Structure 1
């Protein structure tokens, strides 16, 4: 599974296109060994040092940082596997768990379709050490996030009200107040629409 993850999901520098055959499970901050560009291995957003970032006055006190998009592995790795699967189901992306076959030829076109089937790496967790469980769970998450990103799925579809407020605050978008006559369900739908309209999945903080 891990060899497949590296071969298919290696990280490419958005500046010079040099490719790193690395797994995204660790730190997402990369500095290209060829052009020395600092970027996120998940969403390709640039890293800036403090006040060099033009996005906000608050950036001056942040040190080296990036403004990750909400569909970046930086955020989605904190979701559990079940929630990532739910996002795929919500958008009509079919899947199934299957340990009887290897990940091979049929997966060549996996990331170019809107409805597909993929196989999750499933093992008996009771037979593993705790660190092995964590490692394989992160592999599964990265695999799922790769499908989510390839199909341009928006995590905001499953956001709670607190998550929607946090996303708006993160990008300095004013959070509207709920009116007296507005039902909460309608208000949350408007929040979600505001996020999708004003904060696209591919955001340039400059």
Structure 2
């Protein structure tokens, strides 16, 4: 479960960070000013943070599986709109709104929900590992996106988090469960199912 959640968070945060390194190539390709392309970044970051409190309650009510699925759908739609941007409003909807809300639905809450539901022991370690996914996604994918953008263009660079997000969401939805009781196993550190 931790590996699936890590992989999901890795690509979600990559989707938030990657557009930042593509501002100059996008400006050159689309003929828009850097300010016009960078402006949706502020909206993206604001929505990423503002969606967290609501997403936490939704995750407790509907579970990680549904919320990661919803987050992934919103995120992937935002990435696809961003890849095919030809109008400024595409940028605001794709990179601004959807890439802010999509990752914000799971990024900060997923680690604590997985840790509390699946682990009786080592919850801090689990939260630390999953929080590391946010830094790892940025560390790996921002330089990779910059290189791919230089070689093949910014649209190709945006395809990397898109493909990764599709794969991670499918894997999470197929193999992750909201609680260990759903598959009749105890939480780590317990000997019987359903003690939580």
- Do they fold alike, i.e. is TM over 0.5? no
Q: Which has the higher contact order (CA 8 A, sep 6+)?
A: 2
After TM superposition, the score normalised by the length of structure 1 is 0.23
Whichever structure has more strand as a proportion of its residues is 1
Bigger CA radius of gyration: 1
Whichever structure has more helix as a proportion of its residues is 2
